[in-house]
Amino acid sequence: MAAKDRFHEVVKIALEKEQWTITDDPLRLDVGGTKFEIDLGAEQLLAAERGAEKIAVEIKTFLSDSPLTDYHAALGQFLNYRLALEISEPQRILYLAVPVIAYEAFFKREFAQLSVERYQIKQIIYDPIQEVIVQWIT
């Protein structure tokens, strides 16, 4: 099992505060003989006629000296996870969870904005101190 991200529990608590039920910790997939572990799987019961909304969340801290290097790794992982989900659990929407500090310092830059738009990266911006979700970017 892969090591949990430093803010794993923070994001889990923040999702639960927004009435998400954690269904998988981690969410394990096997696609064509390749095993994947996405940090969290969650669902939220919606109006009866709509059923449940299901998400998968990959949590990142972006705490290294190079946010660009962190982003390169996160982007590759995100794209592979999204493809695996499209094959095995297409009803699940993948989000990249990013701390608000990294969002303000890196993800608001022009290049990061262009990249997020190009690769259609859905984000959850979380506050690791308050243990809350600050923003959903879909």
What's this model's pTM, rounded to 2 decimal places? 0.93
pLDDT tens-digit map of 64-122: 999 999 999 999 999 999 999 999 999 999 999 999 999 999 999 999 999 999 999 99
For residues 88 and 86, what is the distance between their CA atoms, to the nearest angstrom? 6
Asked if 35 and 25 touch (Cβ cutoff 8 Å), the reply is no
Q: Determine the 3-state secondary structure of 23 from DSSP.
A: strand
pLDDT tens-digit map of 35-75: 999 999 999 977 555 568 999 999 999 989 999 999 999 99
Q: What residues does each domain of the chain span?
A: 3-137
What is the per-residue pLDDT for 36?
96
Q: Does domain 3-137 have CATH number 3.40.1350.10?
A: yes
For residues 38 and 81, what is the distance between their CA atoms, to the nearest angstrom? 7
